[in-house]
């Protein structure tokens, strides 16, 4: 079932004056219920502009965006959209001003109109979902590490139980381990609760591990969209978009040039190692081992 339908979407900032910028041009994209889709592209390619149309923060200059079957230009629906589509901005911790972690996470749920018992319950549940201890709710957010603070900020959106979660570069500026931790828990939430996740990233290694499908933006245009394995194998398109293909894909292509053909295209280093090991075992090559 389609969850978000984007048809012929064009967005122009400052139309008609010298600052005019065409940020999106004629985008066609369908996001399906319960899928994990990565939206990839270099800086300035239009990722955040597209994301802000999906929860009604921006309106199309031309074209149409439907979320859960309804047009976002419908005024009444647009005012409700934030309840269904949660958007985690880039560096969301910059918007944390509450004295305690609890107060910060409870802000959204209170706006939903839930009573204090439900709000308390949601805060606790959400902390557990992202692997944070319950006691953290009494702490001052300013005392937390970067990775923990980011998780708290994401909790603020997750606690509203959105049907669609959009995350704009949730791992930006974090250590790889912290980035991995966040994405792993979001993936778990997506598969357990059936929510739809849109991950904005320029790290295709993350898309390779977590996404079902990938859409590639380049200078406001959609260059490619499809299953993760298909899109991430299109190295020429990825390079055109200013993106680096996952290391495993580059490795497989270099091996192919040397006449070593892996049976399928690996997307992760683990997969590449497994395929290469299988090949060595069946052909008997490399039996001398590495000295
Ligand atoms: N508020 C704005 N006003 C005017 N122009 C904008 C605004 N936001 C973005 N743009 C321009 O629109 C284009 C797309 O920007 P956008 O922020 O959507 O790209 P992005 O892919 O999210 O980039 P990044 O990876 O740097 O976050 C760029 O040319 C940018 O300069
Ligand atoms: Mg952006």
Give the domain CATH number at 203: 3.40.50.300
Q: Is residue 290 part of a domain?
A: no
d(CA 32, CA 6): 12
What single DSSP character describes residue 68?
T
- Same domain flag for 84 and 180: yes
Quote the pTM value.
0.94
Q: Is residue 291 part of a domain?
A: no
Closest residue (by CA) to atom 5 of ligand 1?
Answer: 13
Q: Is residue 251 part of a domain?
A: yes
Q: Could you tell me if the CB of 49 is within 6 A of ligand 1?
A: yes
Q: Could you tell me if the CB of 58 is within 6 A of ligand 1?
A: no
- Same domain flag for 212 and 186: yes
- Same domain flag for 25 and 146: yes
Closest alpha carbon to 226 in 218, 234, 204: 234
pLDDT of 289 = 43
- 248 and 206 in contact (C-beta within 8 Å)? no
Sign of CA dihedral 233, 217, 92, 85: negative
Q: Could you tell me if the CB of 45 is within 6 A of ligand 1?
A: yes
State the distance from the centre of ligand 1 to the C-alpha of 96, rounded, in angstroms. Answer: 23
HSE, side-chain direction, 13 A CA sphere, residue 201: 27
Closest residue (by CA) to atom 3 of ligand 1?
Answer: 13
Q: Could you tell me if the CB of 47 is within 6 A of ligand 1?
A: yes
Sign of CA dihedral 148, 149, 154, 159: positive
State the distance from the centre of ligand 1 to the C-alpha of 129, rounded, in angstroms. Answer: 32
pLDDT of 178 = 86
pLDDT of 34 = 96
Distance set, CA 217 to CA 72, 183, 189, 220, 225 (Å): 22, 21, 26, 6, 9
State the distance from the centre of ligand 2 to the C-alpha of 176, rounded, in angstroms. Answer: 20
d(CA 44, CA 289): 47
Q: Could you tell me if the CB of 185 is within 6 A of ligand 1?
A: no
- Burial state string for 28-46 with b = 16 or more CB within 10 A and e = fewer than 16: ebebeebbbbbbbbeeebb
- 1 and 176 in contact (C-beta within 8 Å)? no
Which residues neighbour ligand 2 (ion) by CB within 5 Å? 48
Closest residue (by CA) to atom 24 of ligand 1?
Answer: 43
- 206 and 183 in contact (C-beta within 8 Å)? yes
Q: Could you tell me if the CB of 23 is within 6 A of ligand 1?
A: yes
What's the alpha-carbon Rg for the chain, to the nearest Å? 21
Say which residues have a Cβ less than 8 Å from residue 142's Cβ, sequence separation at least 6: none
- Same domain flag for 264 and 173: no
- Same domain flag for 250 and 228: no
- Same domain flag for 194 and 263: no
pLDDT of 285 = 64
Ligand closest to 24 (CA) is: 1
Six token digits for residue 267: 């997307």
Residue 270 lies in domain? 246-285
Q: Could you tell me if the CB of 108 is within 6 A of ligand 1?
A: no
- Same domain flag for 117 and 139: yes
Six token digits for residue 94: 């910059």
Residue 265, SS3 per DSSP = coil
pLDDT of 290 = 43
pLDDT below 50 — which residues of the chain?
288-291
- Same domain flag for 171 and 279: no
Q: Could you tell me if the CB of 52 is within 6 A of ligand 1?
A: no
d(CA 126, CA 88): 15
Distance of CA 216 to the CA centre of its chain: 12
> How many structural domains does the chain have?
2
Distance set, CA 194 to CA 34, 68, 199, 253 (Å): 5, 14, 15, 35
Closest residue (by CA) to atom 2 of ligand 1?
Answer: 13
Q: Is residue 22 part of a domain?
A: yes
Q: Ligand 1 pocket test: which of 11, 12, 13 has the largest number of ligand atoms within 8 Å of its C-beta?
A: 13
- Same domain flag for 208 and 276: no
- Same domain flag for 30 and 141: yes
Q: Could you tell me if the CB of 17 is within 6 A of ligand 1?
A: no
Question: Look-up: residue for tokens 């047009």?
Answer: 71
- Same domain flag for 207 and 259: no
- Same domain flag for 257 and 129: no
């Amino acid at each position: 079932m389609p969850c978000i339908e984007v048809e012929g979407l064009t967005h122009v900032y400052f139309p008609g004056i010298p600052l005019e910028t065409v940020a999106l041009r004629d985008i066609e994209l369908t996001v399906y219920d319960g899928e994990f889709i990565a939206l990839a592209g270099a800086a300035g390619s239009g990722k955040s502009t597209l994301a802000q149309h999906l929860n009604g923060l921006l309106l199309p200059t031309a074209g149409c965006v439907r979320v859960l079957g309804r047009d976002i230009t419908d005024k009444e629906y647009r005012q409700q959209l934030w309840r269904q589509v949660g958007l985690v901005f880039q560096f969301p911790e910059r918007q944390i001003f509450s004295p305690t972690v609890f107060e910060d996470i409870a802000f959204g749920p209170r706006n939903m109109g839930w009573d204090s018992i439900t709000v308390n319950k949601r805060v606790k549940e959400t902390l557990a979902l992202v692997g944070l201890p319950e006691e953290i709710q009494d702490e001052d957010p300013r005392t937390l590490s970067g990775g923990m603070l980011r998780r708290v900020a994401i909790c603020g959106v997750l606690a509203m139980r959105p049907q669609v979660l959009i995350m704009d570069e949730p791992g930006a500026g974090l250590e790889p381990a912290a980035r991995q931790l966040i994405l792993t828990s979001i993936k778990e939430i997506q598969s357990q609760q059936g929510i739809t996740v849109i991950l904005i990233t320029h790290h295709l290694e993350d898309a390779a591990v977590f996404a079902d499908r990938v859409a590639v933006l380049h200078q406001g245009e959609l260059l490619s969209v499809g299953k993760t394995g298909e899109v991430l194998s299109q190295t020429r398109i990825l390079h055109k978009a200013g993106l680096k293909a996952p290391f495993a894909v580059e490795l497989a292509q270099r091996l192919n040039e040397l006449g070593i053909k892996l049976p399928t295209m690996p997307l992760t280093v683990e997969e590449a190692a497994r395929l290469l090991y299988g090949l060595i075992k069946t052909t008997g090559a490399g039996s001398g081992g590495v000295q």
